[in-house]
Amino acid sequence: MTKSPTGSLLLTLEELQMQTFKMNLFQDLFAKAVFLDKSSCEHVLRILTGNKSLVVKENFTQHLISKLTAHDIIMDVLVEDSNHKLYEIEIQKAKGNIAHEKRMLYYASSIISDYFFKGDQTYASVPELHIFYISQTDIWNMGKTCYPVLKHLGDLKTPYNDGLHMCYINAEINDNSEIARLMQFFKTANAHDGSQGALSKRINTIKTTEEGIAIMDDFSKKLYDAGMNDGRAEGETSEKYATARRMLAKGTYSLQDIAELTNLTIAAIEKLQAEG
């Protein structure tokens, strides 16, 4: 986020439109706005699952599962379809030494425990869950676009289905499949590229219309106000750092969110995080 001509840390609508036009689906603020749209979620999941008749019943962005005695998780996109199956789309932006498979495991266990309501239900009521972990780079370095996690019982012929399905997908390797073409679109989010149906339409709306800019403006203000709700520090620079500290303390904002809303670098925010 850049300083506006008025001296405010919040962007003018014209500045926000210019920044939004450059954004892609690997940027938190933009992805949140796009995937609030049910049709966009439906389009993406139909491609990722291969189920062209999939119907989205409910969808959430940045959905928080709070743990009293463990680490909270904030999911990028959580969806329930008309058959009560759950889908989580995790868009990985951060670089560095991340235990991707352990992160997937923790997210899966948290989602399942949160949605498995206690009472008279049996274990058969545990929801079916599909997790798609989307990264900009090929984190496994095996030259594939998709890495489904396959499970077998005792041999490589007998499938083992416990209802948990995981798949790693990246935008680096383009094998010209339908999923790869979707990932290339994730990288550009070109407002004038109509190749991705409802997703293209949503992105065009956000990037080129007054309605879309209003959606982005509302997101920016809500996140910024939440980070500033304990009062403003004196001076522009100290205000940015104070806001970043408050947002870090809440634990509900990604580093990319904080960077976009304060105009601090990821490195500066990581340093604040390390300092506690």
DSSP class per residue in 82-98: TTS-EEEEEEE---SS-
CATH 2.30.30 fits 24-188, yes or no: no
Q: What's the rounded mean pLDDT across residues 75-87? A: 90
pLDDT for the residue numbered 219? 74
Indicate the pairing of strand 164-170 with strand 146-148.
antiparallel
Q: For 194-206, give the DSSP string.
A: -TTHHHHHHHHHH
Q: What's the rounded mean pLDDT across residues 38-46? A: 97
> Quick one: pLDDT band at residue 162, thresholds 50, 70, 90?
very high
Residues above pLDDT 90, as percent of the chain: 43
Q: Above 70 in pLDDT, residue 36?
A: yes
**Highest mean pLDDT out of 192-196, 219-223, 242-246:** 192-196
What beta strand segments (E) does the chain contain? 56-65, 73-81, 86-92, 129-135, 146-148, 164-170
Q: Are 1 and 269 in contact (CB under 8 A)?
A: no
Q: How far apart are CA 56 and CA 103, in angstroms?
A: 25
210-227 and 255-262 helices cross at what angle (nearest 10)? 100
Q: Above 80 in pLDDT, residue 250?
A: no
- Domain positions in the chain are 1-22+213-268, 24-188
Q: Above 90 in pLDDT, residue 176?
A: yes
pLDDT for the residue numbered 49? 97
> Quick one: pLDDT band at residue 74, thresholds 50, 70, 90?
low
pTM for the complete prediction? Answer: 0.76
More confident position, 260 or 33:
33
CA 185 to centroid of chain Cα atoms: 15
210-227 and 236-250 helices cross at what angle (nearest 10)? 80
Q: Above 80 in pLDDT, residue 273?
A: yes
More confident position, 269 or 93:
269
29: tokens are 């603020």
- How does pLDDT run across 84-123, given as a tens digit for each residue? 999 999 998 766 567 889 989 988 988 888 877 655 578 8
Q: Above 90 in pLDDT, residue 204?
A: yes
Q: What is the mean pLDDT of the chain?
A: 83
pLDDT for the residue numbered 235? 43
Q: How far apart are CA 209 and CA 228, in angstroms?
A: 28
